[in-house]
Amino acid sequence: MEAGADEAISNTPQDRFAQSQAQMAQVPKPPPEPVKPMPPAAKPARKASATPPVTPIAADAAASAAACRTLEELVEAIHGFDGCALKETAANTVIQDGNPKARLMVIGEAPGAEEDRCGLPFVGPAGKLLDRMLAAIDLDRESVLITNIVFWRPPGNRNPTTDEIAACLPFSRRLIELVRPQVLVPVGGIAAKTLFETSEGITRLRGKWRDFTSPGLEAPIAAIATFHPAYLLRQPLQKREAWQDLLAIMAKLDETGT
């Protein structure tokens, strides 16, 4: 009673632990669950193409560009094109500068603030560095043609979007076809990836010769990418690699002759 056993429930002691184990042994075990087949391994995602999509606006631009037979007609068509939303916020349409009969063509990504005010490509700090780079291989703006992939300044100097590039690219390609330079130099990652139709970065693309092809060209154009002058202003240690690219460009021009 002092231990709390105040009521007898059996005349003999019972091993309740043994009884519990015996009862559990009599309970039938559930059948094993069937083994579920492993789901098929997911296919690796395909790398996104750097080629801009063919939107209705891009198709209209392509038709307009293809109808141009001269550089003057192309310039007029670009000025009259309203398919790129950047035109609404830009002060000027920035198309080209230099010699339309040049053997070397330099193409960047888009105008900056200074270019938007002046209406000419590469006239700001990056443009001044480009002039010095050209002078290092005995060239100037009278012996090259300079342009951009996009002809209107993106607000805040942001990178142009895929749709903005797609709207302008047919005109850029047609400009290359009409000028037909012997050497094409895209500067910066956006220009290089767009023209070479790849997703690789400029560090991998620069310094390697490629053939640029387009439906309006009778033969491929030798093309080599290099760093954008604006990038070199921020990363001056990369000028060593850019200098190697300039030497390769000079050698190629010497090889092709005057």
Beta-carbon count within 10 A of 172 CB: 23
Which tens digit of pLDDT belongs to each residue from 188-219?
999 999 999 999 999 999 999 999 999 999 99
Structural domains in the chain plus CATH codes: 56-256 (3.40.470.10)
pLDDT at 32 exceeding the cut of 90: no
pLDDT at 45 over 60: no
Helices (H), the chain: 16-26, 56-66, 71-80, 113-118, 125-135, 162-179, 189-196, 202-205, 229-234, 239-256
pTM for the structure as a whole: 0.78
* C-alpha dist (Å) from residue 75 to 65, 101, 105: 10, 15, 16
Q: 30 vs 135, which has greater pLDDT?
A: 135
State mean pLDDT over 10-25.
71
* Chain segment 121-141, per-residue pLDDT in tens: 999 999 999 999 999 999 999
Q: What percent of the chain has pLDDT over 70?
A: 83
pLDDT of residue 14 exceeding 60: yes
- Whole-number pLDDT of residue 166: 96
Q: How many of the other CB atoms lie within 10 Å of CB of 184?
A: 23
- The mean predicted confidence, pLDDT, of the chain is 89
* pLDDT tens for each residue of 86-116: 999 999 999 999 999 999 999 999 999 999 9
pLDDT at 50 over 90: no
